[in-house]
Structure 1
Amino acid sequence: MTTFYLAVMIFSALVLLAALSSALAFRFGAPLLLLFLGVGLLGGTDGFGIEFNNDALTFYVGSLALAVILFDSGFGTAFKTFRATAAPAILLATLGVLLTAGLVAVAATFILGFTLLEGFLLGAIVASTDAAAVFFLMRIGGIHVVDKVSSTLEVESGINDPMAIFLTMTLVSMLSVQGSGAEETLTMVLHFFREIGFGLIFGLAGGVLTILIANSFGLNRGLAPILVLTVALLVFSATGAAGGSGFMAVYIAGLVAGNQRVRYSGSIRRFQEGMTWLAQIIMFLLLGLLATPRNFPEILVPALGLALFLVFIARPIAVWICLSFFDYRPRETKFIAWIGLRGAASILLAILPAIYGLENAGLYFNIVFIMVLVSLILQGWLLGPVARLLKLVRPKASGALETVEIDLPGNAKHELLVYRLAEGAPVLKGALIPRWAIPSLVVRDGLSMRYFYAGDLKAGDYLYLFVVPGMSYLLDQIFADPQMVGEKGEEPMLGTDVLMPDRPLRELGAIDPEVAIPPGQEETALADFMKARLGGKPEVADRLHLGPLSLIVRETDDQHNVVSVGVWREPLEDDAPQLLPPFWQRAMRRLLRKGL
């Protein structure tokens, strides 16, 4: 028991030290995951002398941690973001990973004298981008990259791990039995499609199951996050046991569940954020403890050469080829190429050669470890300067200071927003606050008062509002500085086009053939339909959603009749070449709009 207590005490101290190191990252802009690795190395065999060499335990614990991270990544990705950049991100996560692995394989044959198959294994291990490293650095550095680029990176980094994991495990299996003939190649291809297919099927089913269990049995706020996390791990393990990609399944399950109404979603998100931090810390600590830095000098030069080749040649070539099919500006392509940070997933995959007993297992691990360190140091620290050099940084709109999801009894959901009113904000000049945003409290000069007793709003006031979820982004247009709002593609508060209120609903089909017109109301006038649906007293900025269209009240008369109707259609990526035929594009859009 003394040994047990001592082990728990040491590991807890390392976790605490890693968590406290985040203060250094925030202060100096250092890559936080690099500090986590550093704490592990500090406590390892060449540091404080902790002997830890359990490859299998590290891999299994790391896999569970990665599953938790991927589920949270999917849970926090909006369908709107996924739809906007799905095609290029999926191409980067599949063909891009394959091209990167192949280029690194060629370089490894020259630099290390590997066979092509051994080099391809090394390339597969380092081919995926680490999402946690990318977005943490962007947040702490105050870097707000244009939406198109950030959305592409978010989706790509969330879905590229399954491809890299599949390639690595397949190549390790082939090398362990010394077989790479036609039969083995066919088996590998069939296995790939089985992993992807099962991953999608189990992921969709897991997302539905998560929603069902959370809404039916999550009656306790403290129990709901545990139920959701347990279902996520169940989906991960069940998919893997069936021969599918558990990592893909758990990401898809998070994507489906995170975009539907789930009881206590605010508590679930906060719990998952904490679990994701803990998963990252534990994973990087174990990987750091497993490393033996005294073996690094003998392979330092070739490892550095491969790392620089990956950063400056392999990743940029793969990104350029994949994004050449889409409408990306050169500087956007360059930034996406630069931001391909390597992280824990690569080091985790580098353990597989040792588990399978490959001849150069230690060499794989040490080379990959050094390549990840170089990536975190070089790309991580230069992330901000490169974004500014390429002029992809946009100023953060002076929008809500804080957003808090509130779960009310009866499964009613609201967000509580806190705004600091900017000088020149439209609301100070008479712009109306929409009915779906309910002002509650004003804080002025350190004093709090109810909204209705505060009088006219003033610049510098802090305004607290309850808002219907999913609508808060529109409020920046009336509360923020107008010069900080209005990025291309942003949805206007009152829509982009004006419709005649007496036109029948069926004419909306000319705007988008997939509009969801209620049966039997094709000939109903827009104004009458909106007035009935809005409770008989529509107000300016009220809106109704009909599939991809939003109908918005622009103006009313004294009898509460709608006299002007605005419309907004979700933009489609029609200008960029598509990977799927039109029929499948429409089918996928219908599924996504219905929440899969």
Structure 2
Amino acid sequence: MTTATWFILIGLLLLIVGFTFSYIKSVPATSAIIYLSVGFIVGPMGFELFHFNPFQESALLELLTEIAVLISLYCAGVKMPAPVSMKRWRTPLQLATFSMVLTVGLVTLFGYYGLALPLGAAVLLGAVVAPTDPVLATEVQVRHADDPDELRFSLTCEAGMNDGSAFPFVMLGLGLLGLHDLGDAGWRWLAVDVFWASGTGIGIGILAGSGVGWLVTKIRTSYANTAFLESFLGLGLIAFAYGISLLVNAWGFLAVFCAAVALRHTELKLAGLMQGYSTAVEARREGEPQAHVHVSESSLAFNEHLERLAEIVLVLLLGGSIFWDSWSWRAVGFAAFLFFIARPISVHLGVLGSRAPKRMRNLMGWFGVRGIGSLYYLMYAIQHGLPEEIALELIHLTLVVIALSILVHGISVKPTIKRYWRSRKPRI
């Protein structure tokens, strides 16, 4: 495809989505299915107008997916309710740690014994597909900070955290393949990749988000007529927190998510509006002389549009990367194992002791959407020297998993969530 053809294709997709936005919201499917279908039609499975090769274009795809995940993590973070309390965050914390570790372990066993992969490659595959996705899981994300649904909150918060907590297992897989220094008996991996990188990333995010929130509030209260470009402040916070994390070898995904959570928390706290979004809006309507929650709210809309644009491009490329023979029993069987065995088992075991009811645990076990984050981790591994034979095998498995996740989760999410909400309404 020529440059002109690409512009025409992307432009048509944007126009179609723009004109049919209300209709897409009403049909029992997600917009990602449309983008994937277009990719199938114009790619190797259809008219063969283009073929995107993830292995040859791994550097470009790593950059694109990295940006998409960062923007999505920020959007998820600023929608988290404040104040942050262990009572409410316990379930997603267990999902992002215990459940994710269990998923990595189960996939490793399946990859090593069922797919005959080397141990390092099996661990890497587990790390790639274990994180749930904040980009493609729009329908199961919280709508705003006052969204009362615990299911959406838990899934959104899990996706925000496990995109960072999976990184140590990516490095473990690379280390077992001889591509990363794990240290004697794994001490360096445990000390640096697990404790230092995770803890420092969280700390950087909290400090950066709190600092920006405090500075904006301080300037607004001192100089009432000061105007800001809130969308730039949001993007600047993403880049700053992520850059500092990379500089000190911390996990930047965790930093960005925590920075977004801390930004909103700080703005609400300093404004005296800790009860949430609706309280802040009402206070502004009444003209109370308080600091306002501007950055987290104003930058969210802008970043959500960037997130949607990234989704269109990346899912289109995904569809153009898959051939008819990609749908092997090996890949489809692995996806079925992940969706129907590994994810449900890891969720039910991982949230033991939490207050999540059984019906909610069942739905969390199903809606483990895989997507752009998995692509990023795989491209990251390829760029760090993953052997071509292993890389091609993991690309094959991962692309099919993501495509099937878009299809099966995308078709089931709206009717399932609708039935879930209907069952929670009191019967008269």
Please indicate the TM-score interval, normalised by the length of the shorter structure. Answer: 0.7 to 0.9
Q: How far, CA to CA, are the matches of 2:134 and 2:318 in structure 1?
A: 23
More strand as a share of residues: 1
Q: Pick one of 252, 258, 264 that aligns with 2:264.
A: 258
Question: In the alignment, which residue of structure 2 is the partner of 1:36?
Answer: 35
Structure 2: which 5+ runs fail to align? 269-290
What is aligned with 2:49?
49
Q: Report the TM-score when normalising by structure 2.
A: 0.79
Give the deviation of 1:209 after TM superposition: 2.1
Distance change (3 Å), C-alpha of 1:65 and 1:22? same
Structure 1 residue 114 displacement after superposition: 0.9
Match of 2:377 among 349, 356, 360: 349
Q: Once the 2 structures are TM-superposed, how far is the Cα of residue 321 of structure 1 from its aligned partner?
A: 1.1
Q: Aligned ranges for residues 247-286 of structure 1 at < 5 Å? A: 247-261=253-267, 265-266=293-294, 268-286=296-314
User: How has the CA–CA distance of structure 1 residues 17 and 51 changed in structure 2, closer, same or farther, with 3 Å as cutoff?
Assistant: farther
Match of 1:234 in 2: 240
Q: Which amino acid aligns with 1:277?
A: H
Out of 67, 70, 81, which is 2:70 matched to? 67
Contact 2:234 2:295 in 1 (8 A): no
Within a 5 Å distance, the mapping from 1:216-365 to structure 2 comes to 221=227, 223-261=229-267, 265-266=293-294, 268-286=296-314, 288-289=316-317, 292-293=320-321, 295-298=323-326, 300-355=328-383, 356-358=385-387, 359-365=389-395
Question: 1:193: Cα distance to partner?
Answer: 0.9
Kindly state the Cα deviation for residue 109 of structure 1 after the two structures are TM-superposed.
2.6
Cα deviations by residue, 1:468-516 (Å, 9 ceiling, x for unpaired): xxxxxxxxxxxxxxx799xxxxxxxxxxxxxxxxxxxxxxxxxxxxxxx
Provide the alpha-carbon RMSD of the alignment: 3.4
| Displacement of 1:312 | 1.2
Q: 2:214 aligns with which of 194, 212, 215?
A: 212
2:283 — aligned with what?
A: none
1:49 deviation in Å?
2.6
> Helix, strand or coil for the counterpart of 1:114?
coil
Partner of 2:403: 373
Distance 1:336 1:108, change over 3 A: same
Aligned AA (1:367): L
**Structure 1: which 5+ runs fail to align?**
396-482, 486-596
Q: Confirm whether residue 105 of structure 1 aligns to residue 135 of structure 2.
A: no
Q: 1:167 to 1:30 in 2, by over 3 A?
A: same
Counterparts in 2 of 1:180-579, with a 5 A limit? 183=184, 185-190=186-191, 191-215=193-217, 221=227, 223-261=229-267, 265-266=293-294, 268-286=296-314, 288-289=316-317, 292-293=320-321, 295-298=323-326, 300-355=328-383, 356-358=385-387, 359-387=389-417, 393-395=423-425
Residues 208-247 of structure 1 deviation map (CA, whole Å, 9 limit, x = unaligned): 2211343356765561331232122111111122110111
Could you tell me how far apart the structure 2 residues matched to 1:8 and 1:99 are? 43
Give the whole-Å Cα distance in 2 for the aligned partners of 1:132 and 1:82.
25
Task: Write the distance in 2 (CA, Å) between the matches of 1:349 and 1:296.
Answer: 24
Offset of 1:169 from its aligned partner?
4.0
Task: Give the letter aligned to residue 316 of structure 2.
Answer: G
1:383 partner letter:
V
Q: Residues 136 and 387 (structure 1 numbering): CA distance in 2 closer, same or farther, change over 3 Å?
A: closer
Identity of aligned residues (%): 21
Query: 1:299·1:367 contact (CA, 8 Å) conserved in 2?
Result: no
- Answer yes or no: is the 8 Å Cα contact 1:74–1:252 preserved in 2: yes
CA distance in 2 between counterparts of 1:213 and 1:312 reads: 47
Counterpart residue type for residue 249 of structure 2: G
Of 165-174 and 7-16, deviating more is 7-16
Distance 1:371 1:279 in 2: 21
Query: How far apart are the structure 2 equivalents of 1:348 and 1:42?
Result: 24
1:266-295, Cα deviation, whole Å (9 max, x unpaired): 575244223223224324513532665454
Q: Which moved more, 1:238-247 or 1:204-213?
A: 204-213
Structure with a larger share of its residues in helix: 2
2:300 and 2:41 mapped to 1: Cα distance? 28
2:68 is aligned with what amino acid? A
Higher relative contact order (CA 8 A, sep 6+): 2
Relative to structure 1, is the Cα distance of residues 372 and 71 closer, same or farther in structure 2, using a 3 angstrom cutoff?
A: same
SS of structure 1 residue aligned to 2:166: helix
Q: What amino acid is aligned across from residue 368 of structure 1 in structure 2?
A: T
Aligned length: 392
How far has the Cα of 1:393 moved from its partner?
A: 4.1
Report the CA distance shift for 1:38/1:352 in structure 2 as closer, same or farther (over 3 A).
farther
TM-score in terms of structure 1 length: 0.58
What one-letter code is carried by the residue in structure 2 that aligns with 1:258? R
With over 3 angstroms needed to count, the CA separation of the structure-2 counterparts of 1:342 and 1:145, relative to structure 1, is farther
Q: Which has the larger radius of gyration?
A: 1
Q: Secondary structure at the match of 1:131?
A: coil
